[in-house]
Chain A
Amino acid sequence: MENQFYVDSKYLSPEALARKHRLETDPSSRADHMAYLPGMEVISSDVCEKVMSQMEAYDYTKYTARDVRAALDHETCSIEDFKALLSPAAEPFLERMAERARRETSRHFGNTVYLFTPLYIANYCENYCVYCGFNCYNHISRMKLDMEQIEHEMAVIAGSGMEEILILTGESRAQSDVQYIGEACKLARKYFRMVGLEIYPVNTDEYRYLHECGADYVTVFQETYDQAKYETLHLLGHKRVWPYRFDAQERALLGGMRGVAFSALLGLSDFRKDALASALHVYYLQRKYPYAEMSLSCPRLRPIINNDKINPLDVGERQLCQILCAYRIFLPYVGITVSSRESARFRNGIVKIAATKISAGVSTGIGDHETKYTGKEDGAQKGDEQFEIDDARSLETMYQDMSGEGLQPVLNDYVYV
Chain B
Amino acid sequence: MMEQDRLVIGGHTFTSRFILGSGKYSMKLIEAAVRDAGAQIITLAVRRANTKEQESILDYIPEGVTLLPNTSGARNAEEAVRIARLARELGCGDFVKIEIMRDTKYLLPDNQETVRATEILAKEGFVVMPYMYPDLNTARDLVNAGAAAVMPLASPIGSNKGLATREFIQILIDEIDLPIIVDAGIGRPSQACEAMEMGAAAIMANTALATAGDLPLMAAAFRQAIEAGRKAYLSGLGRVLTRGASASDPLTGFLRN
Contacts and interface: CB of A to CB of B under 8 A. Distances in A.
Contacts of B107: 333
A412 B53 contact: yes
Contacts of A161: 52-54
18 contacts: A106-B24, A107-B159, A110-B26, A110-B206, A161-B54, A193-B50, A286-B104, A290-B103, A291-B104, A294-B104, A333-B104, A408-B25, A408-B26, A412-B47, A412-B51, A412-B53, A415-B47, A417-B83
Contact of B52 (A163, A414, A417): A163
Contacts of A410: 48, 53
Contact of A417 (B53, B79, B160): B79
A111 B48 CA distance: 15
B102 interface: yes
Nearest to A106: B211
A291 B23 contact: no
Interface in A99-155: 106-112
Interface in A386-417: 399, 408, 410-415, 417
B105 interface: yes
Given A290-B102, A417-B73, A111 B26 contact: yes
B84 to A, nearest CB: 11
Please list the 10 inter-chain residue pairs (A to B) with the smallest Cβ-Cβ separation, ordered nearest first: A110-B24, A415-B47, A291-B102, A412-B51, A417-B79, A408-B26, A290-B103, A411-B53, A110-B210, A333-B105
Counting chain A residues whose Cβ lies within 8 A of the other chain, the interface size class is 20 to 34
Contacts of A413: 45, 47-48
Interface residues of B, number: 36
A109 B207 CA distance: 9
B158 interface: yes
Contacts of B103: 290-291
Interface string B196-221: 00000000001100110000000000
Interface of B: 23-27, 45-48, 50-54, 73-75, 78-79, 82-83, 86, 101-107, 158-160, 206-207, 210-211
Interface in A240-293: 286, 290-293
Contacts of A408: 24-27
Given A110-B23, A414-B73, A290 B47 contact: no
Nearest to A407: B26
A107 B50 contact: no
Given A291-B104, A413-B48, A415-B46, A107 B54 contact: no
A111 B51 contact: no
Contacts, number: 82
A193 B56 CA distance: 14
Contact of A411 (B51, B102, B159): B51
Contacts of A292: 104
A415 B104 contact: no
Nearest to B106: A333
A272 B185 CA distance: 34
Given A291-B103, A413-B48, A414-B47, A112 B25 contact: yes
Contacts of B207: 107, 110
Contacts of B158: 107-108
B74 A293 contact: no
Contacts of B25: 110, 112, 408
Interface string A159-188: 001010000000000000000000000000
Give the one of A106, A107, A111 with max B CB within 10 A: A107
A109 B54 contact: no
A291 B101 contact: yes
A294 B75 CA distance: 15
Nearest to B104: A293
A405 B131 CA distance: 33
Contacts of A193: 50-51
Contact of A415 (B86, B105, B206, B210): B86
Contacts of A112: 24-26
A413 B73 CA distance: 9
Contacts of B102: 290-291
